[in-house]
Structure 1
């Protein structure tokens, strides 16, 4: 497995198709990391829609979006499933953050988290408002995930003055 970007390096840019559930509308559009400059971005790579741990993780982050907003951060979920699967997943669980489709796993490879068999390793990357990687956690087994509190604590340390 490649190591991906290191802390203090610019985060690899990417554009992925995805969608965001707002009320009853699932708005589909492309998301480009460099277009989010000026705000911190939490990239949450997860193996699959509607799997037990992934559902708990993304429900936790979705219910905590106000915490992320208060830290001037966005949260993007990224997995190998397509946008149709993401729409069903978002609607089924009321997920309010963008879910992005990395169907070819190019972005997962750029971040060093592509994995045979499961597709991607559960991992979180915190990108500063300047586009630089500030913190990351890549799970070895993926049976647990980084909590909202842990991410909020890490984000509070990277905000720009």
Structure 2
């Protein structure tokens, strides 16, 4: 296979996405439930969430998705000028991360024991309000390449053999249909 961009668009481990509300002094940590990712059968890839910079789509064979216990991975085959330009920037490490766009169908506030250490660290800094949320159901419609991700742990690379991609069977992408993405 020729040129491709690979990456992790949704990490499932820990709580990779967080926000801080200065007015309320509240940290909100979010993670996406791996079993709750749904699509309408089409996911597009853009640069920087800009619809005038379309890089690929799952329905035209330029974007494949892969899921395992670590996250939702992708492979983009650059087939237009915008995608080729992004490929060059990813190759020279000038474009390094991903973001997603989705509609939230269901979310729950959760508190689990493994987060107690993180809670204590934040409270030691004087922040008493800490919320953990699990997005139980989302409808994914876009993945974007950019440098300021909303979730920690995302990445993109042109190296198919990058250690972070270990265990991905690039010959077996998931088949997108309306409804849940199957692991």
Please, what TM-score do these two structures have when normalized by structure 1? 0.27
User: Which has the higher Rg, Structure 1 or Structure 2?
Assistant: 2
Q: Which has the higher contact order (CA 8 A, sep 6+)?
A: 2
Please, what TM-score do these two structures have when normalized by structure 2? 0.25
Which structure's residues are more often helix, by fraction? 1
Which structure's residues are more often strand, by fraction? 2
